[in-house]
Chains A and B, each alone.
Chain A
């Protein structure tokens, strides 16, 4: 009796939970409402079956439970009843399968007017490519992929020259414009999921897969990877922004073509030096940094990383959080760099700088003073953080802290310990990397969450300072 009551309570509780709990699908933003309808239909059919079967069990347990003198009925089988039940079940299942198959036909057949958009997934980030005016995507190959040509476009293919490159996890789409997402990966399996679009599909390295959807509601949506792709899987986040026609056109006009990204590779160091003048007041003439002003040393910092950060400062993606005092100081400075070429020039100039502070022209005094200035401030124990570094941090930043360009993870060696510690804290505390468009920042923030107390961060910085990156000259502190 008690068992039957518990069973009934659980079944009723399930129904009540289904209808009354606030937890259900996020509102749909694509054309796939038919998919939601099949889910509802399946809920109705299976829900009825679930309640009826269990209620019948509970009834039997109450009615036919053992009592003095009770005897079961001997009834080996009833072909008639079994045939009826099989028939009814078949009808119910066909009722769910038929609409499913019809809609599946739509899922596998993109409409003729769908625009093509290539999504490139790579551990653990997203980038995108649109066909240019010729309406055709250029050929790609893993063997063409490099830091200068991150999407691996064949430079000799004329169709590729005008392809629009979005080397950023944020993508824009036009409302009411069907899109066929061509999914390409250059390392492992990934998955393209925008929960509000309902459809999803895996990326398979070695082939191009596809899925299509028509965004119906302007807005900003999370893009998630839902196929396990390694340690950074949960932090592989992107963003899809559905624009109106006008704002989409404005956004598109700002995006470089492949030819333009290649042209940017040549730089003007003279212009860069001029541009750097304002930077030097804080970061130093030789980009050696100035701890007192919270300006990190820039010499030795990863160039692609510096470019991205400058773009972020300019666009308000970084340096806008109210607690980010020093970021807010940097932001207006970055505004002085007019365009991508200016950023490029300054960063190329910084790459030529020594990072050695200037002191009275006396090299010995200078070095001694420098050592004093960069006295390790971290009071951490490297042995406590080694395991976490190796299992987690190293997956993006490399075992030697050298950085890995495909992950967009900058080198950590060559950074000052006070700067590292302050930035890790900022990431963890949501002071940096929580702007909606800063997906790499979010990624770092999620990982920084694993270091809950400040001592863990000190330990981590201490471990990083023991790393020796063969690609980089030893830092000043280590020269001592």
Chain B
């Protein structure tokens, strides 16, 4: 148990460098708009991400309306449907989840949790947000250009993405590619900042193996993103060149609209390899912060140390590393050399081992805990259900043979929504409720929060569980409608209708969520500084919400890991990380 060191002298070295100098804004604009305070930037990131995410949510309603009651809503034509599919996917994955976990939670929590005054490059951090904001504007602009936004599917596969016959093949796709490139530039600024802050600005005593798992999850996810996004960046550049200059990176000799196109020699599979070299780590860019955060939520609200902390850290690192060698499991039926299937099926199933271990450790943290069914804990339990379900169906799709009848069907859509949409969103909600008192200094409305939880939890399950079975029946994804087949029973349409009803209800519940967040920030009950009796540093700040510079005159000094809950012999059921051993009543017992 050495890692949970309580020996003050050997683990808390004197500071080697002086405190960083903070930039103090002089103007209102500098303080609230072009702020260099990571906490303000975090809120800007989160608000922007959630705002564009709401657009994507509404797009999903349009899709669902068409699928449930085909051709009833005449503004949804086949082209519009594909545009909705594409923009929903891209916004949710990149502009909402990635930005929210790294730009939002990363910015807010990293400096506070590692005991830093701010990110190490505050100015770069500010620019990073505004570049991201520009990317969102470019993306939103594509709704309004001639031909509309791209309808190529969020995977943007060429040649289709840039040829007539696909919606938005004129301006829409170019705006999408430009927006992605800009997003990646902005992310790289932020991401380098997060990594350097974690590696260089931890306070005294905060060894890597004492960091809360939230920081570990965000840290490894950011490293993944820094390696993975360049692959998407070059594909965006190359595809733009294929459109603008007529190069043929991804374009072989083809016909389009009845005549020969002026391309020759390119390879569409090259794009797919590049895309998924980014795209698979992207799954973990979203999942790892969720893993980290949910570990802390479960531990805090079960009043118990996270079970197997070291294994949890190594599992995060190993999953992150393995996520770079599994990408072609998205391509079993893509026409790549099918012998790749042996390799990628094996690596993919291997990744299930550390992932399963994480699940066991979450569950074992509940075992013999003291479980408080608070809102964050409820969302954590919901996360477990969705993640276990989605993880299990991943074993179908990761195994080349098993995946073949299921690939390109709604089974895939149901799987990835379970595992990388609903599961992380459960964590997002839980995390927002968990840190809300710290961020705003006020309580959210408990009743509305419970309503939001139950509707979202049960409703989302009713949306995505039956969807697997539509896929098993053979309903393909990205189909505007499915009539006219001989193998689908008419009852498939009833499944579609019930899914839509559940999805609309879940969607409306999110409005209650946002209302609660906004209104409670002004009218909520005042919250204490450490309402959950948590140990990590962000709860030990002098003021709530934490002021500029996060901590008081002196930075906290860390003496223990973040999971000293219910330590035997100590009266309180938690010991904050910055409490020296001699002050804890545990001294004798240890």
A398 contact set on B, CB distance < 8 A? 257
**Residues on the A chain within 8 Å of B74, using CB:** 450-452, 456
A189 close to B268 (CB less than 8 A) = yes
Interchain CB contact under 8 A, B393 and A100: no
Contact of A76 among B4, B79, B461 (CB under 8 A): B4
Q: Flag whether A364 is at the interface (Cβ < 8 A).
A: no
- In the complex, the chain A residue whose C-beta lies closest to that of B494 is A23
Residues of A within 8 A of B160 (CB): 188-189, 228-230
How distant is the Cα of A123 from the Cα of B451 in the complex, in angstroms?
Answer: 47
Contacts of A72 in B (CB 8 A): 302-304, 368-370, 565-566, 573
Point out the residues of chain A lying under 8 angstroms from B370, CB to CB: 64, 66, 70-72
CB<8 Å pairs between A and B, sample of 14: A3-B381, A14-B389, A64-B367, A100-B402, A107-B400, A108-B341, A142-B253, A195-B487, A205-B252, A228-B160, A233-B480, A391-B77, A407-B258, A447-B78
Q: Is A449 an interface residue (CB 8 A)?
A: yes
Given A53-B359, A186-B254, A231-B166, A60:B405 Cβ within 8 A: no
Binds A, one of B50-58, B150-158, B508-516: B150-158
Tell me which residues across on chain B come within 8 A of A11, comparing CB atoms.
Answer: 385
Bitwise interface map of A from 61 to 75 toward B, beta carbon under 8 Å scored 1, else 0: 100111000111111
Complex CA gap A347/B284 in Å reads: 61
The reply to whether A35 and B402 form a contact with Cβ atoms under 8 Å apart is: yes
Distance to closest chain B CB from A210 (angstroms): 8
Chain A residues with Cβ below 8 Å from B389 are 14, 50
Q: Decide if B157 touches A22 in the complex (CB within 8 Å).
A: no
| Given contacts A57-B363, A143-B253, A228 and B335 within 8 Å (CB-CB) | no
Q: Are B357 and A23 in contact (CB under 8 A)?
A: no
Which residues of the partner chain A approach B400 to less than 8 Å between Cβ atoms?
A: 100-101, 104, 107
Point out residues on B near A: beta carbons under 8 Å: 1, 4, 70-72, 74, 77-80, 82, 148, 151-153, 157, 159-160, 163-167, 252-258, 260, 266-269, 302-305, 307-311, 333-335, 338-339, 341-342, 345-346, 349-350, 352-353, 356-357, 359-361, 363-364, 366-373, 378, 381, 384-385, 388-389, 392-393, 395-396, 399-402, 404-409, 454, 457-458, 461, 465-466, 469-470, 472-474, 476-487, 489, 491-492, 495, 563, 565-568, 573
Closest chain A residue to B479, Cβ basis: A234
Q: Which residues in A have their C-beta under 8 angstroms from that of B567?
A: 74
B209 shortest CB reach to chain A, Å: 12
Q: Across the interface, name the chain B residue whose C-beta is closest to A69.
A: B370
Interchain CA distance A387-B72 in the complex, whole Å: 17
**A231 and B167 within 8 A (CB):** yes
Residues A421-480 near B (CB distance < 8 A)? 434, 436, 442, 445-447, 449-452, 456
In this assembly, does A90 line the interface, its C-beta being within 8 Å of a C-beta of chain B?
yes
Instruction: Report how far A434 CA is from B483 CA in the complex, Å.
Output: 11
A156 lies within 8 A of chain B by Cβ: no
User: Which interface residue of A64, A237, A456 has the most chain B CB atoms within 10 A?
Assistant: A64
A sample of 16 more A-B contacts (CB under 8 A), given A50-B389, A70-B370, A76-B1, is A24-B472, A25-B472, A25-B474, A49-B356, A57-B385, A65-B371, A71-B303, A76-B308, A104-B341, A186-B254, A195-B474, A205-B268, A221-B486, A228-B152, A445-B484, A451-B74
Known A46-B396, A93-B395: A449·B70 in contact at CB below 8 Å: yes
Q: How far is the CB of B529 from chain A (nearest CB, A)?
A: 22
B253–A75 contact, CB under 8 A?
A: no
A270 to chain B, nearest CB (A): 32
Known: A49-B392, A97-B349. A10 touches B304 (CB 8 A): no
* CB neighbours of B470 from chain A (8 A): 23
Q: Is A17 an interface residue (CB 8 A)?
A: yes
Interface-located stretch among A81-89, A159-167, A172-180, A309-317: A81-89
- Of chain A, the residue at the smallest CB distance from B73 is A452
Interchain nearest-CB distance for A90 vs B (Å): 6
Inter-chain CA distance A434–B484, complex, in Å, is: 8
The reply to whether the CB of A323 lies closer than 8 angstroms to some CB of chain B is: no
Closest residue of B by beta carbon distance from A66: B372
The residue that A231 contacts in the complex, of B82, B303, B473, with Cβ under 8 A, is B82
Measured CB to CB, the closest approach of chain B to A171, in angstroms, equals 15
Tell me the residues in window 12-31 of chain A with beta carbons closer than 8 Å to chain B beta carbons.
14, 17, 21-26
**A118→B302 CA distance, assembly (Å):** 61
Contact A222/B485 with A10-B385, A66-B371, A205-B159 known, Cβ cut-off 8 Å: yes
Interface residues of A in 186-221 (CB under 8 A from B): 186-189, 191, 193, 195-196, 198-207, 209, 220-221
Minimum CB–CB distance from A198 to chain B (whole Å) comes to 4
Q: Is the CB of B260 within 8 A of A97?
A: no
Partner of A89, one of B357, B364, B402: B357
- Also in contact, A228 and B153, with CB within 8 A (given A46-B395, A195-B474): yes
User: In this assembly, does A42 line the interface, its C-beta being within 8 Å of a C-beta of chain B?
Assistant: yes
CA distance A142 to B303 in the complex (A): 68
Q: Please list the 10 inter-chain residue pairs (A to B) with the smallest Cβ-Cβ separation, ordered nearest first.
A: A206-B252, A195-B474, A391-B79, A226-B408, A209-B335, A46-B392, A230-B165, A72-B304, A60-B366, A188-B160
| Shortest Cβ distance from residue B24 to the other chain A in the assembled complex, whole angstroms | 42
B339 touches A108 (CB 8 A): yes
Given contacts A442-B484, A452-B74, contact A53 B165 (CB under 8 A): no
What distance in Å separates the Cβ of A152 from its nearest Cβ neighbour in chain B? 9
B165 near A231: Cβ-Cβ < 8 Å: yes
Find A392's partner among B79, B339, B364, B393 (CB 8 Å cutoff).
B79
B566:A71 contact, CB within 8 angstroms: yes
Give 1 or 0 for each of A343-369: 1 = CB within 8 Å of chain B CB: 000000000000000000000000000
Residue of A nearest to B360 (CB): A85
* Known contacts A54-B385, A228-B157, A93 near B371 by CB under 8 Å: no
Partner among A23, A50, A200, A405 whose Cβ is within 8 Å of the Cβ of B258: A405
| Complex contact A61–B366 (CB within 8 A) | yes
Nearest CB of chain A from residue B431's CB, rounded to whole Å: 18
Mark A129-147 against chain B: 1 for CB-CB distance below 8 A, else 0: 0000000000001110100
Are A96 and B349 closer than 8 Å at their CB atoms?
yes
The answer to whether B472 and A42 touch across the interface, beta carbons within 8 angstroms, is: no
Do A191 and B77 touch across chains, with their CB atoms under 8 A apart?
no
Cβ of A6 under 8 Å from chain B: yes
- B residues within 8 A CB of A230? 160, 163, 165-166
Judge if A183 is at the interface, Cβ distance under 8 Å: yes
Give chain A residues whose Cβ lies under 8 Å from the Cβ of B477: 226
| CA distance in complex: A89, B405 (Å) | 25
Determine if B78 and A77 form an interchain contact, defined as CB atoms under 8 angstroms apart. no
A383 at the A/B interface (Cβ < 8 Å)?
A: no
Q: How far is the CB of B165 from chain A (nearest CB, A)?
A: 4
Are B408 and A77 neighbours in the complex by a CB distance under 8 Å?
no
Contact A207 B335 (CB under 8 A): yes
Q: Confirm or deny: A406 has a beta carbon within 8 angstroms of a beta carbon on chain B.
A: yes
Q: Complex: how many Å from CA A388 to CA B381?
A: 46
Given A72-B368, A74-B566, A82:B402 Cβ within 8 A? no
Query: Closest CB-CB distance, A293 to chain B, in whole Å?
Result: 31
Q: Is the CB of B268 within 8 A of A26?
A: no
Q: Chain A residues with Cβ under 8 A from B378's Cβ?
A: 3
Q: A residues within 8 A CB of B260?
A: 142-143, 145
Within the complex, which residue of A75, A96, A224, A388 is in contact with B77, where a contact is CB–CB below 8 Å? A388
The one of B268, B357, B482 that contacts A86, using a Cβ cutoff of 8 Å: B357
**Residues from chain A with Cβ under 8 Å of B339 in the complex:** 108
| B303 in contact with A89 (CB, 8 Å) | no
Which of A56, A200, A206, A449 lies in contact with B267, CB distance below 8 A?
A206
Provided the pairs A24-B472, A53-B388, A60-B369 are in contact, do residues A82 and B461 lie with their beta carbons within 8 angstroms?
no
Chain B proximity of A424: nearest CB distance (Å) = 14
A residues less than 8 Å from B148 (CB atoms): 391
List chain B residues, Cβ under 8 A from A73: 304, 368-369, 566
CB distance from A188 to the nearest CB of B (A): 4
- B257 near A406 with CB under 8 A, answer yes
Asked if B371 and A104 sit within 8 Å, CB to CB, the answer is no
B474's closest neighbor in chain A, by CB? A195
B345 touches A100 (CB 8 A): yes
**Contact status B309-A404, CB under 8 Å:** no
A142 adjacent to B255 (CB under 8 Å): yes
